[in-house]
């Protein structure tokens, strides 16, 4: 009986040491998984581009493919992510105001909300990039 209690206490002590270690390493592990996934995704994209470019004879089509792989945030994307961020901040502030009542989360919610407002303003203030406008005009003129 005594050995079972001793083994249980020893297990709980070792578990008490393992939990903080796992809690510290888990975010790094998640970031590593995301990084590996993104790098494999980019590699597959460029491998597909190489395979397609082997079969395409027109260099203009290849340049159009390269332009399509460039990821740019448009004004519409900034406004959309800004709106999502605003409501995330409102949700955090409401969680603190009506649920937790700690006062800290309310400030965090306001910070997130103002970041979203800044993103939305950036989406409206910054004009479309000139090269995007030129590309649209050139593709229209080709038709």
Band of residue 143 on the pLDDT scale cut at 50, 70, 90 = low
Contact 50, 65 (CB under 8 A): no
Band of residue 129 on the pLDDT scale cut at 50, 70, 90 = low
Tally Cβ neighbours within 10 Å of residue 79.
16
- Find all residues with CB under 8 Å of 112, minimum gap 6, and list them: 85, 88, 89, 92
Model confidence, pTM: 0.46
pLDDT tens for residues 38-48? 999 888 887 88
């Amino acid at each position: 009986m005594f050995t079972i209690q001793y083994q249980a206490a020893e297990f709980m002590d070792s578990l008490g040491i393992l939990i903080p270690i796992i809690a510290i390493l888990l975010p790094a592990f998640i970031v590593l998984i995301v990084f590996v996934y993104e790098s494999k995704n980019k590699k597959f994209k460029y491998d597909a581009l190489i395979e397609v470019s082997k079969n395409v004879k027109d260099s203009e089509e290849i340049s159009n493919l390269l332009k399509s792989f460039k990821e740019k945030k448009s004004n519409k994307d900034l406004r959309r992510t800004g709106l999502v961020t605003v409501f995330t901040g409102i949700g955090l502030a409401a969680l603190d105001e009506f649920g937790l009542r700690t006062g800290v989360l309310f400030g965090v919610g306001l910070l997130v909300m103002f970041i979203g407002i800044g993103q939305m303003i950036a989406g409206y203030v910054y004009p479309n990039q000139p090269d995007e406008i030129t590309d649209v005009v050139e593709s229209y003129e080709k038709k």
